[in-house]
């Protein structure tokens, strides 16, 4: 399957799962939850290798994920993950979650900002960040926060093609350049 076809297939899954999520509860929250689950799977070599291994039966993958996610994810999010695993889309959970977030934001006329932070941000901080990014871009913003240990401190926000880099690494680089 070429990249364009693969993207269209994932877009179809995102559309369908977003409709299910909307019928079952808060579609935005479920999209964020699915994205976070995908990132957690991607971040664990052992878990990722197991759930993407074609030799491992689907039921075993689903049971493993249900055990890992028990108490950490909603039952609806676990069901959405199980649907993707059952459809052979284990490798694409993060991307489907991202597409769901984008679609949910567009339906509310919001622009998604991908924000990378070394730590999880509380709701009040996210709201202030969305307001600042809205002021800087002139758009209504929905922040999708990704905890990324590579961002040692500060934040890196991407809105479309515009990057706002307030990370410690970029500030240190600016100091190095100033002293050179």
Q: What is the pLDDT of residues 122-174, one digit of tens each?
A: 999 999 999 999 999 999 999 989 888 888 888 999 998 899 998 888 888 88
More confident residue, 47 or 24: 47
- Residues 35 and 17: their CA atoms lie apart, in Å, by 12
pTM over 0.85: no
Mean local confidence (pLDDT), 71-91: 92
Q: b/e per residue, 4-31, with b = 16+ CB within 10 A?
A: eeeeeebbebbeebbeebeeeeebbebb
Domains, the chain, with CATH or none: 3-102 (1.10.520.20), 110-179 (3.40.30)
Query: What average pLDDT does this structure show over 72-100?
Result: 92
């Amino acid at each position: 399957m070429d990249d364009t076809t693969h993207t269209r297939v994932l877009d179809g899954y995102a559309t369908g799962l977003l409709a299910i999520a909307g019928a079952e509860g808060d579609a935005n929250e479920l999209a964020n939850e699915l994205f976070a689950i995908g990132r957690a799977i991607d971040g664990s070599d052992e878990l990722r290798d197991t759930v993407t291994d074609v030799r491992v039966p689907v039921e075993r993958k689903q049971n493993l994920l249900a055990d890992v996610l028990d108490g950490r994810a909603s039952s609806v999010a676990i069901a959405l993950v199980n649907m993707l695993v059952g459809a052979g889309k284990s490798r694409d959970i993060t991307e489907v979650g991202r597409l769901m977030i984008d679609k949910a934001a567009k339906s509310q006329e919001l622009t998604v900002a991908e924000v990378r932070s070394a730590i999880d941000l509380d709701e009040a901080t996210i709201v202030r960040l969305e307001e600042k990014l809205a002021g800087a871009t002139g758009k209504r913003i929905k922040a999708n926060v990704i905890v990324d240990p590579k961002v040692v401190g500060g934040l890196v926000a991407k809105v479309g093609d515009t990057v706002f880099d307030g990370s410690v690494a970029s500030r240190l680089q600016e100091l190095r350049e100033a002293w050179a």
